[in-house]
Amino acid sequence: MDIPCEFCGNPVNLKARNTLQKVTGWEKKRSQGGANQIILREPLPNFAHALCVDEYKQGIHPDQALLFN
Ligand SMILES: [Zn+2]
């Protein structure tokens, strides 16, 4: 079974290093700033190409934001 990329819909290779998996968790804020700690991180059944995530971060595909509402 092919798992589609969250962003482009094309299949992702789960063993590829450029495949990213979505996770959920609880973020602990740090008073001094810096990296926040994620507690009880859990993987979600959502996958994406690293390139697609990068493009999304850069706002190249703003219409894709609808997927997350
Ligand atoms: Zn993709």
Q: How close is the Cα of 23 to the center of ligand 1, in Å? A: 17
Q: Please report which confidence band the pLDDT of residue 59 belongs to, taking 50, 70 and 90 as the band edges.
A: confident
Q: How close is the Cα of 60 to the center of ligand 1, in Å? A: 13
More confident of the two residues 50 and 30: 50
Q: Please report which confidence band the pLDDT of residue 35 belongs to, taking 50, 70 and 90 as the band edges.
A: confident
Q: What is the 3-state secondary structure (H, E, C) of the chain?
A: CCEEECCCCCEECCCCCCEEEEEEEEEECCCCCCCCEEEEEEEEEEEEEHHHHHHHHCCCCHHHHHHHC
Q: How close is the Cα of 51 to the center of ligand 1, in Å? A: 7
Q: How close is the Cα of 29 to the center of ligand 1, in Å? A: 31
Contact 12, 48 (CB under 8 A): yes
Q: What is the mean pLDDT of the chain?
A: 86
Tens-place pLDDT, residues 2-24: 899 999 999 999 999 999 999 99
